[in-house]
């Protein structure tokens, strides 16, 4: 899996979190209108919806913490891996060099460094969340 794929999947995850938040917001608005219209069940349903939103937020927080822990492990690994030692002898003349097999090796940490520098890696460095936060939950339900 390359870093572009990771970034695309992370963007998809963020979009799904925003879509879920929008759906919860729309349902909360409907329940608020029903409460204002005098529906005796609407307030209870709104409180149930608040519990669901809080559970989703907690799940997303745990997911973000897991992703940050993975990022930290990778970052620590990259920073502790020493570059390969340089040979103490001169390289053989080109006519005696063995033929190359496959693509040349990446520099130490090349793929990981690109990963850490990508959108997902930077989001994890900054602690960016992926979904429903306290401010959204509070703004949806401050009227109930």
d(CA 118, CA 5): 10
pLDDT for residue 56: 92
Helix (H, G, I), strand (E, B) or coil at 35: helix
> pLDDT per residue over 77-87, tens digit each?
777 776 666 66
Rounded to the nearest integer, the mean pLDDT of the chain is: 76
* Whether the predicted pLDDT of 132 surpasses 60: yes
pLDDT for residue 80: 79
Which structure tokens are listed for 137? 């939950």
* HSE-CB for 66 with a 13 A CA cutoff: 7
d(CA 46, CA 43): 5
Which secondary-structure segment (H or E) carries 10?
helix 3-36
> pLDDT per residue over 23-73, tens digit each?
999 999 999 999 999 999 999 999 999 999 999 989 988 988 888 888 888
Of the candidates 134, 133, 131, 143, which has an alpha carbon nearest to the alpha carbon of residue 47?
A: 143
pLDDT for residue 90: 61
What is the separation of C-alpha 127 from the centre of its chain, rounded to a whole number of angstroms?
Answer: 9
**Given its phi and psi angles, is residue 109 left (phi above 0), alpha (psi -120 to 50 degrees) or beta?**
left
pTM over 0.75: no
């Amino acid at each position: 899996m390359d870093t572009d794929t990771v970034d695309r999947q992370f963007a998809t995850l963020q979009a799904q979190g925003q879509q879920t938040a929008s759906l919860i917001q729309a349902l909360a608005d409907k329940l608020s209108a029903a409460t204002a219209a005098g529906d005796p069940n609407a307030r209870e349903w709104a409180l149930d919806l608040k519990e669901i939103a809080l559970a989703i937020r907690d799940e997303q927080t745990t997911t973000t913490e897991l992703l940050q822990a993975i990022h930290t492990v990778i970052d620590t690994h990259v920073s502790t891996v020493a570059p390969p030692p340089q040979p103490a002898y001169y390289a053989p003349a080109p006519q005696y060099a063995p033929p190359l097999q496959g693509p040349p090796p990446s520099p130490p940490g090349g793929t990981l460094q690109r990963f850490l520098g990508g959108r997902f890696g930077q989001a994890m460095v900054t602690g960016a969340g992926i979904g429903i936060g306290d401010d959204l939950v509070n703004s949806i339900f401050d009227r109930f």
